[in-house]
């Protein structure tokens, strides 16, 4: 089965129309709280949490403390059930502020209970905190009360907990992202050390993180070690490592620069040791990243629709694994705007009177998902890429390149959503189909 143009690719005008609808939507929000519901608000901390039970009509109990242990979570559950019986409530809504990883054990504990779980945007908490008492005062007892007020107003967000392979892929994706950040930091440190020791090195080796420069730095860490080499020997080593990119002339240039280097002469042994340690760490990170990517590929093999996403030219194992891990179960999203909002790619504008503001993306969704889509979009706009023509049309209209790339990211996410939703294969000729549909409509 091949997905049709109507399902996975919309015209630019249709995107605009949909975005106008999106600005009026409250995707993922809890629409309201019933009068017979008990609201349990939690201010999450690393060691100690604070809970607060209240009802929409203002009946409540004093805020209480509980720690991140089995006994602490059981205490929370006991307080919630006691308050439910005391206030004769029929439903329990438990909400917390999104504050990193500290709420995850609590979240998984409550997932097994018969309660509705929601989360609150920290930005909303900050704003409502001052609105309530016209004071920037922040106390541990005040925070859960503010969270409860936001839930009462129906401004809390529903929670999606990844399960199975989607949860595993999210952990793998976070792990790989952390290793990549560590690698970037180490490469930056390496460049600083090499500049101190051998500033001229980059005149020959432009990209220090490539295989050949790393090999030379590992084997010959100082200008003195390079300066005494025979250019034929070094040239042959460089040729093999670079697969012909570097040859004897480059070796001769590097040796000449080493002989006349202005690098510092004091503490050379310490700098050499630092460089050696960084090179060892880079090798370890390379191994770890390869292991994570191997696990990603194995996990994708257990996801039924992953092969359909991998059929999209420009999407590889890392991109698809990251997208599935960040989104979780696609069935939780009924419309395209909902999934756009998750990625923070939903559009907004600030207008007043006759002044119409510039439309921007909200950036309030999952930042890592947005990053993955951005880099995937770069691959799809290359020559013969699936969205090359779309990107070209946008830039030809005068759209800035970065803005056009964001539009491509939105388009790509829409295609991915349609493929998974309809369990369909990607059609390589959808652009041709689109033009035919437009011609018939005209």
Q: Does residue 354 fall inside a structural domain?
A: no
Determine the pLDDT at residue 19: 41
Residue range 71-84: average pLDDT? 96
Residue 300 in domain? no
Average pLDDT over residues 422-437: 69
Beta strands, E only, 11-61:
37-43, 48-54
| Domain-embedded: residue 106 | yes
Query: Which domain range does residue 208 map to?
Result: 169-295
Segment 65-75 shows an average pLDDT of 94
Q: Is the pLDDT of residue 378 over 90?
A: yes
Q: Which residue has the higher pLDDT, 17 or 182?
A: 182
**How confident is the model at residue 346, as a pLDDT?**
82
**Res. 1 pLDDT band, cuts 50 70 90:** very low
The reply to whether 310 falls in a domain is no
Pair (56, 15) in one structural domain: no
Q: What is the pLDDT of residue 134?
A: 61
Per-residue pLDDT, 435: 56
- pLDDT reported for residue 140: 60
Contact status, residue 284 vs residue 186, Cβ threshold 8 Å: no
CA-CA-CA-CA torsion sign (323, 324, 325, 329): positive
Position 304 in a domain: no
Q: Which of 123, 155, 187 is the last residue of a domain?
A: 155
Q: How many distinct structural domains can be found in the chain?
A: 3
Residue 214 has pLDDT above 80, yes or no: yes
Q: Tell me: the pLDDT tens digits for 292-322?
A: 999 999 999 999 999 999 989 889 999 999 9
Residues facing residue 252 across a β-bridge: none
Q: Are residues 89 and 15 in the same domain?
A: no
| pLDDT greater at residue 358 or residue 7 | 358
Alpha-carbon gap, residue 84 to 54, rounded angstroms: 9
The predicted structure's pLDDT at residue 15: 44
Q: Does the reported pTM lie above 0.85?
A: no
Stretch among 2-16, 150-164, 320-334, 408-422 having the lowest mean pLDDT:
2-16
User: What share of the chain has pLDDT > 90, as a percent?
Assistant: 61
Average pLDDT over residues 27-38: 71
Mean pLDDT of the chain: 86
**In the block, which residue shows the tokens 């106008």?**
20
Average pLDDT (236-250) is 93
Tokens representing 427? Answer: 């059609």
26 pLDDT band, cuts 50/70/90, is: very low
CATH number at residue 89: 3.30.420.40
Contacts of 275 (CB under 8 A, 6+ apart): 190, 193, 194, 197, 217, 221
In a domain? residue 318: no
Residue 131 banded pLDDT, cuts 50, 70, 90 = low
pLDDT above 80 (res 47)? yes
Residue 48 has pLDDT above 60, yes or no: yes
- Please list the residues that pair with 42 across neighbouring strands: 51, 96
| Strand 91-97 with 116-120, pairing | parallel
Using a pLDDT cut of 70, give the percent of the chain over it.
85
Strands (E), 145-273: 157-158
11 and 57 belong to one structural domain? no
Which residue reads 């960040």 in tokens? Answer: 326
> Cα(first)–Cα(last) distance of the chain, in Å?
27
- Is the pLDDT at 442 greater than 70, yes or no? no
What is the DSSP secondary structure assignment for residue 332, as one 8-state letter? G
Residues 101 and 183 occupy one common structural domain = no
- CATH code: domain of residue 271: 1.10.287.4070
Last residue of a domain, one of 275, 295, 315: 295
Residue 63 in domain = yes
Please report the pLDDT score of residue 159 as a whole number: 78
* Residue 141 pLDDT grade (very low, low, confident, very high; cuts 50, 70, 90): low
SS3 of 355, please? strand
Q: Is residue 162 part of a domain?
A: no
Confidence band, pLDDT 50/70/90 cuts, at residue 111: confident
Whether 425 and 337 share a structural domain: yes
Does residue 11 sit in the same domain as residue 48?
no
Two structure tokens written together for 236:
């042959």
């Amino acid at each position: 089965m091949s997905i049709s143009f109507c399902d996975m690719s919309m015209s630019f005008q249709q995107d605009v129309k949909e975005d106008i609808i999106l600005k009026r939507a409250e995707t993922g929000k809890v629409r309201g709280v019933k009068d017979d519901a008990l609201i349990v608000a939690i201010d999450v901390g690393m060691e100690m949490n604070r809970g607060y039970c209240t009802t929409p009509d203002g009946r409540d109990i004093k805020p209480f403390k509980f720690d991140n242990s089995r006994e602490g979570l059981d205490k929370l559950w006991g307080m919630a059930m006691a308050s439910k019986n005391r206030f004769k409530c029929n439903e329990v809504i438990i909400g917390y502020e999104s504050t990193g990883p500290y709420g995850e054990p609590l979240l998984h504990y409550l997932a097994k209970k018969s309660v509705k779980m929601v989360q609150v945007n920290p930005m909303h908490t900050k704003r409502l905190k001052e609105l309530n008492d016209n004071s920037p005062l922040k106390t541990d007892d005040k925070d859960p009360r503010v969270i409860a007020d936001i839930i009462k107003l129906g401004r809390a967000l529903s929670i999606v907990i990844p399960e199975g392979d989607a949860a595993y892929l999210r952990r793998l994706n976070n792990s790989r992202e952390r290793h990549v950040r560590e690698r970037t930091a180490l490469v930056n440190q390496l460049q600083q050390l090499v500049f101190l020791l051998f500033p001229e090195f980059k005149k020959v080796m432009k990209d220090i993180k490539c295989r050949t420069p790393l090999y030379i730095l590992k084997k010959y860490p100082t200008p003195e070690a390079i300066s005494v080499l025979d250019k034929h020997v070094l040239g042959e080593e460089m040729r093999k490592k670079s697969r012909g990119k570097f040859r004897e002339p480059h070796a001769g240039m590097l040796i000449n620069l080493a002989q006349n280097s202005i690098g510092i002469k004091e503490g050379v042994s310490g700098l050499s040791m630092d460089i050696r340690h960084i090179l060892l760490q880079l090798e370890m990170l390379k191994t770890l990243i390869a292991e994570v990517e191997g696990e990603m590929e194995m996990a994708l093999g257990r996801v039924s629709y992953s092969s359909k996403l991998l059929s999209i030219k420009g999407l590889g194992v890392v991109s698809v694994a990251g997208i599935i891990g960040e989104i979780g179960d696609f069935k939780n999203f009924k419309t395209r705007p909902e999934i756009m909002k998750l990625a923070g790619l939903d559009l907004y504008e600030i207008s007043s009177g006759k002044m119409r503001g510039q439309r921007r993306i909200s950036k309030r969704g999952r930042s890592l998902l947005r990053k993955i889509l951005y880099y995937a979009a770069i691959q799809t706009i290359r020559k013969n890429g699936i969205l090359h023509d779309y990107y070209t049309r946008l830039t030809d209209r005068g759209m800035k390149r970065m803005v056009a790339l964001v539009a491509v990211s939105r388009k790509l996410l829409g295609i991915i959503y349609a493929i998974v939703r309809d369990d369909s294969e990607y059609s390589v000729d959808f652009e041709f189909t689109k033009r035919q549909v437009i011609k018939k409509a005209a």
